[in-house]
Every structure is written in structure tokens, then in C-alpha cells.
Structure 1
Amino acid sequence: MPTSSETRPFVSGPVLVWTGFTAMCLGMFMAILDVQVVATSLPTIQSALEISPDQMSWIQTAYLIAEVVAIPLTGFLTRFLTMRWLFVSSLTLFVIASAGCAASSSLGSLVLWRVLQGFSGGTLIPSVFSAVFILFPKERQALATTIAGVLAVLAPTVGPVVGGWMTETYSWHWLFLINVLPGILAALVAGRSLPRQGIEVSELRHLDGVSLVLMAISLAALELALKEAPKSGWTSPYPAALLGVFGVCGMGFVWRCTHRARPLVDLDNFRDRNFLAGSILSFILGIGLFGSVYLMPVFLAFVRGHNAFEIGMTMLITGIAQLLTAPIAVAMEKRLDARLLSAAGFTLFAIGIGMSAFQDPRSDYDAMFWPQVVRGVAIMFCLLPPTRLALGTLPVDKVPDASGLFNLMRNLGGAIGIALIDTIIYSRAEPLGRTLLERLQAGDTDVAAFIGVPLEAMAEHKDGLDETTMALLEPLLRAAATVQAINEAWMVVAMLTACALLCLPLAQRVGPAE
């Protein structure tokens, strides 16, 4: 990959470059954080705006659909607006949309602003990761990737703390208003510090509108299908129709992108073995990362009864372990093969996820401590080496498109992983509850201990449990069945995460980042 100043016309003074990159990382952090802080406070927003329960999910769905459509457009938008103006304009729109969300007085206006917020926020993440390989020489890329990576995975971890504290201390409006001042500051600093280039208006003549429509429809249909299928069933008419739309429009989009001289998204990047392997790793990381960040609040809220702030304080362990490991990850990135580090990272991450598959209804902070430590240590080794593997050997002009695809794979992995988790919980909780009940009625003391039934109570009902006792035990049985379903979901996610090792032989060796 070229690194000289002659082949890197974008690079300016190092202080300005790092200042601009830091501003970009701040904008990316805000966009990722926004999803989580809003998710933890949806009941408060629902009550304030008098939104019906069946419509509330659109607050998040609108954002996620717009985000997933914007991510692969990063390459085209970078060529058109340049990296500097894409970031500044996206962050400015994100700030305006955030203020609009805070000022909303109805679901309709809030969803509209969330669409704008999601679209503008969606371009910030891949812009940052492409900037790593456009702005910095090879010896600085590991550090830059670490800074971006730490913030990218720290935001979901601290989100519940920030969201819970803001809602309880102030009001739901501040979930959006906290973006305004940092966003303005980051946009001003980035506009001053990032390398300057002229906008390429000629790129608009090459915009393939048909590809854009096909891509937007296919990705939106997929997101909606993944949202609906776990509850209504994957073969029910609505999700099945959405998946059909995704398949037809998706194939049309791929065909156009592979048969045009100037495609909307350069899918030829997947012909590069290292990019393909890195993208698969990014997809699997999305399953494990988003899945674990989703499963912990589900358990802590619905089984343990914790509020958003308490959940966030428990989940901070992952973030602390991640921050402490980051300098070690940078040092090892500079000395070892990316494939070896990826193998170690995903193995450790799968173990950390699997450690959470043995919880009982009384599990809490202590039981979750070490699994979180293991996952926190592993995360940076699951992010930094695959990023270098995917983007570190590509020509500079291919990096923006490739970064969009690389980050899209992680988001799609997360969406599919969460849909899989919901499917397991919805479909398995009831049969697991029946099995627990049968074993409890048969006098199984192990099941009684798992559920939380005192052994003395079991001894008093040797001949079977009467209706009054069963009514008292029903909440315990329901919680225990939910825990077992969650445990099964943890184990499935752990096994899928371990599958990352299967794609590593596909990649060619990428030397140390020094």
C-alpha cells in the first residue's frame, strides 16, 4: 500500500491530521452512543409523547434502516464531497436532526428526524475507519485504528449508564441535546484540520439511481424482516414477503454493481481474499458484539429487574477491560501477523461469550464479572487485526468503498444476531418452562435449586404440587425458563463466534503494522 507523500495527496501536517481525526472519532462515538442511550429510555419517550406500544419500536427502527442504507454509500459520498466535507456535512446534519428529535411533539416528527439522524450518522463510522488508511502512514495506522476501535465498541457499553442517568436526572430531551455542542465543536475542528480538496461535482453524473433505489429497498426490507420475524415467525406472510423483496432487490443491486463501469458500490473489493476474510470476521464480530450487548440488558432488566443506570454500571466492566487492553493490542499489532491475532481474539471472545451460558435466575454482578473481563480483553483483538486485514493492503482509492462494506457487514451481523437471539428466546422459553415444570413436579431437586424453590418446600409436597403452590411458583418458573432460553442464546452466539476461525485460512499473511 502506498505511503509516501507523493502517493498520499491528502496528508497535511501531523498535528492537524491527528486533531482532525480525533474530531472524526468524537462524531462517530456520538452516532453510536445515540442508538444505545435512546434504546434504554424508550419507555420514558413513549409515555411523554403518548405513543402506543406497538408503534414505539419505530423510534429505533427508523434510525437503523437509514443508517444501514447510508453506510455503503460512504465511498460514493467521499468521492463526491471529499472526506472533509462528507464528515462536516454529515455531522452538521446529525446535530440538526438531534435538535429536531428533542423538539418533537409527536411520533411522526420524531421518526422523521430519526431517519435524518440515522442517515447522517451512518456515514460517520466508515468515514473514520477509511481515514485511518488514507491519512496515516503504515506505522501510525495501528494506533489510529485502536482509538477508533475503542470508541466504537465503548459507546454501546457506556450507553445504558449515560441514557439512564440523563433520563432520571433531567429529561428524555437531553438524550438528543447532548449531541449538539460536541457535534458543533467536532464539525468546526474537523473543517479546520482535515486535508482540503475540491468537491467532485462530476461524480453526480455517474450516480446510478436504480442501484441506489434497489439497495435502499433491499436493506430496508431486510431490517424490517429481522425485526418482525422473531415474534411472528420466519415463515409468516409479512416477514417472508420482506425477505423475498430483499432477495430480489439485492440480486438486482449486485447485478448492476458488477456490470457497470462506475458502480454505486465497488463490490469487486470482495475479490480480494484478505478483504473477504476481514469482512466475514467483521460480520461475525457483529453477531458476538451486538449479541452480548443485547443479551446482558435483557437478562438484567427482565430477570433481575434492574433499571437502565444499574444495567450500565454492571456492563462497564467490559469497557474498563477493553480500555486496559488497548495499549497491549497496539503493541502486539505492530509485531504479529494479523491472522494470528484474529485467531486468538475470536477464540477468547467465544470463550467469554460461552462463559455467560451458565447463568441462573440469581446471577448478577459477580457472576457476570469474569465473562465480561474475558470479552473486554478479546474485543480489541477481534477489531484491530481484521480491520488491517480487510483495509490495510488495498489501494487508497478503494478504501472508502471498502470501509463502507466492511462496516456494513458488522452492522448486518449485529442485526441478524439479535434476530436470532430473539427467535431463540421467543420460541424456546415456553417449551423449556414446560420441561422445568414436569421435572419440578417429579421432585427433581436440581431443578428446584435452579428455579429457587426451597428444599423444605419440596419436602412438604412429596406427593405433588397443589394449585395454590403452583400459582406461587409461576413467576419463578417463568423467570427460570427465560434464563434457560437466554443461556441457549449465549451458547449459540459463542459457537457462531468460534466459526470465525474457519475463514482465517482464506486470508494471506499481512505483516506487522510497523
Structure 2
Amino acid sequence: MSERLESARPDETPAIVWLGFLAMCVGMFMAILDVQVVATSLPTIQSALDIDPDQMSWIQTAYLIAEVVAIPLTGFLTRLLTMRWLFVTAISLFVAASAGCAMSGSFGELVAWRVLQGFSGGTLIPSVFSAVFILFPNKRQALATTIAGVLAVLAPTVGPIVGGWLTQTYSWHWLFLINILPGIASATLATRSLPKQATDPSELRHLDGLSLLLMATALTSLELSLKEAPTSGWISAYVLSLLAVCLASGAVFIWRTLRRNRPIVDLGNFGDRNFLVGSVLSFVLGIGLFGSVYLMPVFLAFIRGHDALQIGMTMLVTGIAQLITAPIAVALEKRMDARLLSAAGFALFAIGVGMSAFQDPRSDYDAMFWPQVVRGVAIMFCLLPPTRLALGTLPPDRIPDASGLFNLMRNLGGAIGIALIDTIIYTRSEPLGQGLWTRLQAGDVEAATFVGAPLQTISGHSGSFDADTTALLDPLVQTAASVRAINEAWMVIAVLTGCALLSVPFARRPTSTPRDPEMEANASAKRLLG
């Protein structure tokens, strides 16, 4: 039994445990960073490989679909391979796939490697958050969660500046090559430092292949529908058929999973009230976090005309604010009720998102500074306490499955948030532009100021403009309409983020009793071995 489940004991070997955990964090950081650096340099890749513009989005979509399918499998893969070998296998495959992406000479090659890269990278985030609660007792969980949380939200913040710098200084190949050395180092350190456990090939006998197929079908069709809905329309035949497939396969998957003694994903975790509330908060955080990281580059690139490097420099404010706040969040998280901190974090984050809903076409770094500071301060309080709520009271053998579901909820929230943002921008820009034209034709000075139109062009004017004036104002009005649509998207995301507060009162106060790692390991071993 001791050989099968030799738990990490940080009180005896803290250096070894921390070294292994930090190696896992580095691997997770590279996986998250990879999504953002590639997103900022898609035009460069498109030009280099001569990819059709209509196909370009599949470079990201292939990764994200594979990732979202892999995330909930973390629990099963942990039981099969153990935490150590799951991480080492995943990061090794991620490194190999990154090398394959860099050497790709065609669109098909690149997409195939991106699928492998996404699947291997998908297990890294939940594995790290599982490790927080398995490797460390309560007094060190806050610090471990902070390290993981800071890296998880810092990666998309610094992604644009890293991607822009690499493509401008070297070539697009380095977007993938930068993963290789850190990945090899992480795998080596993890092999030597993480707890040694025996693998369990017998888990394969309990693998429900049909459930796996149903889950993959549901998640893939959902991701595809969210990708296509903003442009094709939510009620288009293609999107509705994808949603129908998602609902049908998802319903059968849930029914089948709840009836099995050893399901591929333990949905029973949602029966724990705190895990359910924490998952709701994770879902809403995904909407706000992914939404804000998506909206800022959209505004800075298409409204202000900045390149990836300039965008990254602007967005660095959020990362700096969160780094400064992290020690404060750790100190408070040890002393205060996680429910209160969660509520304060989401309220502050919603305010920070809402502050960005009042931009005009001339808004730039100065106008974006304080909203970013507020969001950066709030992020750690939106991540640490909800993570403790969701995972902190579960027994160790349930944590890998629960961590996969917890992180899946955040990714799904992000996908839905981005689809909602795109829908608002695509559908609202035209009517908002028509409204601005009406106000300008009526001589509205406030509208002219917002648009940036010379006041003399509308002063004393009533009715339609002549051809020259229309040609002068049209690009200004289109830009201003896009800004108004982006502002509406910011406000919708702010409202949705604020709605997270409604779930907090349903959580129970997490216990603050320190856990004994050895007792928990023995109890977990008994549960696993029957």
C-alpha cells in the first residue's frame, strides 16, 4: 500500500516538494502562454505558410478543442499514471508537439501538431491545482495556490508582448521553440522531485469508451458552435445542429456517467455544495478574465492600430498589479472567510470591467491604466478563495477529478464570454453607427465630440450630409460605432461578473482545521484499494 500511494510529506522534505511543484507550475505557464503568443501572431503564420484566411482560426480552434476535451480527463489519467507520470508525460508530449509546430511546413501539419499540443497542455493546469491540495497542508496551500494562480493569469497578460517581440525579433517558429527548454527542464525536475507512486494499468479496464466519445463529442460541438455563432448567427442551421449534438451527447453522457460505479469523470463532485459554488465562480471568472484579455487587444489593435508589442506593453499593467497584490491576498486568505474574500474579489473585478465601458476612439494607455489596476488587484481574490471553496474540503482521491471539472468550468466560461463579446460587436456596431449618423445630422455636439468629427462640419446643419462630408465622417463613425459596441460588451461582462455574488451565500464556511498529509494519504489509499 505504501508503495502504491506514497504521499508527499512537505514537513519532512519541503525543498523536494516545492521543487517538483514549481516545475509543474513552469509547465502550466508555458501551456497557457502558448495560446496567447500564437493568437497575437496568426497573421505572420498565415503569411509564412500561405494559409487561407478562412482557415486561419483553426490554428487556435484545434488547440482549444483538444484542450477542453483533455481537462476533465485529468482525474482518470492521474489514477492511471499517477500525478508525477501524468505531468511528465503531458509536458514531454507538449514539448514534442511544440517542436512539431515549429517545423511544420503546411497548414495540415500545423493543425495536427496543435491538436496534440492542446491535448497534452490541457491536463497541466488541473494537475497543478490538484497538486496544491495533495502536496501541501493547509498552512502552505495559500502560498502554493498563489504561485499557481499568479502564473495562470500572468501568462495571458504577458502573452501579447512575448509574442510580438518574438515575431518582430526572430520568426514565428520561436513562438513554439520557446517551450522546448523550459519543458525539458520541468520534466526532468518533476521526475526527480514529485512523489513516487506505482502506476495502475488496471484503470484501463474500467475505461468507458462510449462515455469518453460522448464527452468529447459534446465539448467539441459546443466549442465549434460558440466559434461560429457570432458570424453565422445563433439560429443558423449549422449552429443549431451543433448545439443539438452537444445537448444530446451531453445528456446521454451525464445519464451514463451518473449510473456507473467508476465513471470516467466523477460528476458527483457537483453534489458538494462548496464545490458547486466554487465551480460557478470559476465559470464566471472565465467570462470576465478571458473576456477582458480578449477585449483589450481588440480595441488596441482595431481602434488604436497598435501592434502586438505595443498591446503587450499596455496590458502589462494588469500583471504588475496582480503581482503586487499577491502577497496581500495570501495574508488575507489565511485569516478571512473565503466566502467574504470571494465576494469582495468579484465585486471589485466587476467594477474594474465596468470602468472600461466608457472608452472613446481616442482612449489609450492612460484611460486603460486604472481599470487594469482594479482588475489586477481583484484577480487574486477571484482565484484563491474560490479554489479553496471548491477543492479545499474534498478528500485527496477526489481532488484530481474535481480539479479537472473546476478548470473546465473556467474554460467554458471563457469560450462563452468570447462568443458573447463577438456577437455584441458583430450585431451592435451597425445600429449604433446608424444612431450616431442620426445624431450628427441633427447637429448633436456631444456625438460629434465622441466621434471626433470637426464641429464645423455639423454646426448649423440639419438633414443629410453632402458626399464630401459623408466621405469625411464615414470612417470616424464606423470606428466610433465599434467603440460603442465594445463598450456595451464591457458592460455586459461586468454585469455577468457581478452576478457571481449571488452564488456566494450558498457556500458553507470552509473548515480551517489543518490536514495531516499522512492520515489523508492512508485514508485515500484505503478508498482507492477498496
Give the TM-score, by structure 2 length: 0.95
Q: Does 1:475 align with 2:475?
A: yes
CA–CA distance in structure 1, aligned partners of residues 493 and 53 of structure 2: 29
Aligned to 1:74: 74
Q: Which structure 2 residues correspond to residues 374-413 of structure 1 after superposition, within 5 A?
A: 374-413=374-413
CA–CA distance in structure 1, aligned partners of residues 154 and 264 of structure 2: 32
Aligned to 1:123: 123
Residue deviations 1:356-409, cap 9 Å, x none?
A: 000000000000000000000000000000000000000000000000000000
Contact 2:66 2:116 in 1 (8 A): yes
CA–CA distance in structure 1, aligned partners of residues 290 and 463 of structure 2: 46
What RMSD in Å do the two structures reach over aligned CA positions?
A: 1.3
Aligned to 2:428: 428
* Structure 1 position 14, deviation (Å): 1.1
Q: Which runs of 5+ in 2 are unaligned?
A: 515-530
Residue deviations 1:230-254, cap 9 Å, x none?
A: 0010000111100000000001110
Q: Which structure 2 residues correspond to residues 159-308 of structure 1 after superposition, within 5 A?
A: 159-308=159-308
* Structure 1 position 464, deviation (Å): 4.8
CA–CA distance in structure 2, aligned partners of residues 456 and 424 of structure 1: 32
* Structure 1 position 467, deviation (Å): 1.3
Residue deviations 1:264-292, cap 9 Å, x none?
A: 00000000000000000000000000000
Matching residue within 8, 11, 17 for 1:10: 8
Q: Which structure 2 residues correspond to residues 77-96 of structure 1 after superposition, within 5 A?
A: 77-96=77-96
Q: Which structure 2 residues correspond to residues 408-419 of structure 1 after superposition, within 5 A?
A: 408-419=408-419
Aligned to 1:56: 56
CA–CA distance in structure 2, aligned partners of residues 293 and 438 of structure 1: 33
* Structure 1 position 512, deviation (Å): 5.0
Q: Does 1:100 align with 2:105?
A: no
* Structure 1 position 8, deviation (Å): 7.3
**SS class of match (1:472):** helix
Aligned to 1:508: 508
CA–CA distance in structure 1, aligned partners of residues 322 and 167 of structure 2: 26
Contact 2:6 2:196 in 1 (8 A): no
Q: Which structure 2 residues correspond to residues 13-52 of structure 1 after superposition, within 5 A?
A: 13-52=13-52
Provide closer, same or farther for how the CA distance between residues 463 and 274 of structure 1 changes in structure 2, counting only shifts above 3 A.
closer
Contact 2:7 2:135 in 1 (8 A): no
Q: Does 1:143 align with 2:143?
A: yes
CA–CA distance in structure 2, aligned partners of residues 488 and 351 of structure 1: 14
Query: Residue 9 of structure 1 aligns to which amino acid in structure 2?
Result: S
CA–CA distance in structure 1, aligned partners of residues 8 and 252 of structure 2: 35
Q: Does 1:112 align with 2:112?
A: yes
CA–CA distance in structure 2, aligned partners of residues 10 and 199 of structure 1: 16
**SS class of match (2:480):** helix
Alignment length (residue pairs): 509
Aligned to 1:4: none
Q: Does 1:314 align with 2:350?
A: no
CA–CA distance in structure 1, aligned partners of residues 316 and 509 of structure 2: 35
Query: Residue 415 of structure 1 aligns to which amino acid in structure 2?
Result: A
Contact 1:68 1:122 in 2 (8 A): yes
**SS class of match (2:458):** helix
Residue deviations 1:449-473, cap 9 Å, x none?
A: 0000122332274665211111111
Contact 2:442 2:461 in 1 (8 A): no
CA–CA distance in structure 2, aligned partners of residues 305 and 181 of structure 1: 34
Provide closer, same or farther for how the CA distance between residues 146 and 8 of structure 1 changes in structure 2, counting only shifts above 3 A.
farther
> Share of identical aligned residues, percent?
75
Query: Residue 138 of structure 1 aligns to which amino acid in structure 2?
Result: N
CA–CA distance in structure 2, aligned partners of residues 511 and 245 of structure 1: 41
* Structure 1 position 505, deviation (Å): 1.3
Query: Residue 421 of structure 1 aligns to which amino acid in structure 2?
Result: I
* Structure 1 position 225, deviation (Å): 0.3
Query: Residue 92 of structure 1 aligns to which amino acid in structure 2?
Result: S
**SS class of match (2:54):** helix
Aligned to 1:369: 369
CA–CA distance in structure 1, aligned partners of residues 511 and 481 of structure 2: 48
Residue deviations 1:157-192, cap 9 Å, x none?
A: 000000000000000000000000110001000111
Contact 2:6 2:195 in 1 (8 A): no
Q: Which runs of 5+ in 1 are unaligned?
A: 1-6
**SS class of match (1:465):** coil
Contact 2:443 2:460 in 1 (8 A): no
Aligned to 2:522: none
CA–CA distance in structure 2, aligned partners of residues 317 and 27 of structure 1: 24
Give the TM-score, by structure 1 length: 0.98
Provide closer, same or farther for how the CA distance between residues 513 and 227 of structure 1 changes in structure 2, counting only shifts above 3 A.
farther
* Structure 1 position 506, deviation (Å): 1.1
Contact 1:338 1:512 in 2 (8 A): no
Contact 1:333 1:512 in 2 (8 A): no
Q: Which moved more, 1:116-125 or 1:450-459?
A: 450-459
Query: Residue 444 of structure 1 aligns to which amino acid in structure 2?
Result: D
Residue deviations 1:97-119, cap 9 Å, x none?
A: 00000000000000000000000
CA–CA distance in structure 1, aligned partners of residues 362 and 432 of structure 2: 18
Q: Which moved more, 1:376-385 or 1:448-457?
A: 448-457
Residue deviations 1:394-438, cap 9 Å, x none?
A: 000000000000000000000000000000000000000001001
Query: Residue 155 of structure 2 aligns to which amino acid in structure 1?
Result: A
* Structure 1 position 211, deviation (Å): 0.5
CA–CA distance in structure 2, aligned partners of residues 307 and 239 of structure 1: 33
**SS class of match (1:198):** coil
Moved over 3 A (4+): 460-464, 511-514
Query: Residue 319 of structure 1 aligns to which amino acid in structure 2?
Result: G
Provide closer, same or farther for how the CA distance between residues 8 and 495 of structure 1 changes in structure 2, counting only shifts above 3 A.
farther
Contact 2:8 2:17 in 1 (8 A): no
CA–CA distance in structure 1, aligned partners of residues 334 and 461 of structure 2: 65
